[in-house]
Chain A
Amino acid sequence: EVHLLESGGGLEQPGGSLRLSCAASGFTFSNYAMSWVRQAPGKGLEWVSAISGPGGSTYYADSVKGRFTISRDNSKNTLYLQMNTLRAEDTAVYYCAKMAGHPLNTYYMDVWGKGTTVTVSS
């Protein structure tokens, strides 16, 4: 069974940093692009970042470009999101999602984790 489990969320002050992790199982991790999607309290879904299967290509939403870095360790079947210079508006549940489809502009998220909560507040 395909499974994604996020961790690393918590309370952080504005300007601080957090690193989220997503442990994957049940599929050949390195074969699939992965994404982070977030949902602010009471709001809709917002795509944050994506990375290709081998890890050589990365993509970011304008709202996080230059502050967040996505990466993956295919030997550990784990996806990461390094979040720096955090702002109050980064407060959200962060979901890890497996991407499917081809080519890139047809990608969709076919498996989602349960999410990890990030709160940015002083």
Chain B
Amino acid sequence: QSALTQPPSVSGAPGQRVTISCTGSSSNIGASYDVHWYQQLPGTAPKLLIYGNNNRPSGVPDRFSASKSGTSASLAITGLQAEDEADYYCQSFDSGLSGSGWVFGGGTKLTVL
């Protein structure tokens, strides 16, 4: 059971806009900890996609954006392309009763129809 909850899958047609949600709690996102997003293409290592809630590293297209509010965050992809088909993970910090550490969402598989 991940501390951050993501939908297992989302899909969209080329050119469309899709969003992926990441729901946390008062011990992570709700505690004002930053949310970061990663893209994992099939058979490869994860790659940083968004950091600090809504910042894109150099080289990441502006089709990718993210936001955070309360105990949730979301990743938006506009102008969907076939190459966007991948697994997406949110990540934050958690300071729960059992201890503190970094946590990931369970991941969302994006299918481009």
B interface majority secondary structure = strand
Known: A59-B100, A62-B99. A44 touches B34 (CB 8 A): no
Task: Bin the interface of chain B by size.
Answer: 20 to 34
Say yes or no for B106: interface residue by CB 8 A criterion.
yes
Say yes or no for A18: interface residue by CB 8 A criterion.
no
Which of A8-16, A72-80, A110-118 lies at the binding interface? A110-118
Check B93 against A105 for contact (C-beta < 8 Å): yes
What per-residue 1/0 map shows which CB atoms of A102-113 lie under 8 Å from chain B? 001111111111
Known: A109-B46, A110-B51, A115-B45. A45 touches B38 (CB 8 A): yes
Measured between beta carbons, the chain B residues less than 8 angstroms from A61 are: 101
Check A62 against B98 for contact (C-beta < 8 Å): yes
What per-residue 1/0 map shows which CB atoms of B48-86 lie under 8 Å from chain A? 100110000100000000000000000000000000000
Measured between beta carbons, the chain A residues less than 8 angstroms from B104 are: 37, 44-47
Measured CB to CB, the nearest residue on chain A to B107 is: A44
> Which residues, 75 to 122 on A, are CB-close (under 8 Å) to B?
95, 100-101, 104-115
A interface majority secondary structure = strand
Say yes or no for A22: interface residue by CB 8 A criterion.
no
Check B45 against A112 for contact (C-beta < 8 Å): yes
Say yes or no for A32: interface residue by CB 8 A criterion.
no
Check A106 against B89 for contact (C-beta < 8 Å): no
Please measure, in the bound complex, the distance between the C-alpha atom of A84 and the C-alpha atom of B104, giving whole angstroms. 24
Say yes or no for B95: interface residue by CB 8 A criterion.
yes
Please measure, in the bound complex, the distance between the C-alpha atom of A110 and the C-alpha atom of B47, giving whole angstroms. 7
Using a CB–CB cutoff of 8 Å, the interface residues on chain A facing chain B are 35, 37, 44-47, 50, 59-62, 95, 100-101, 104-115
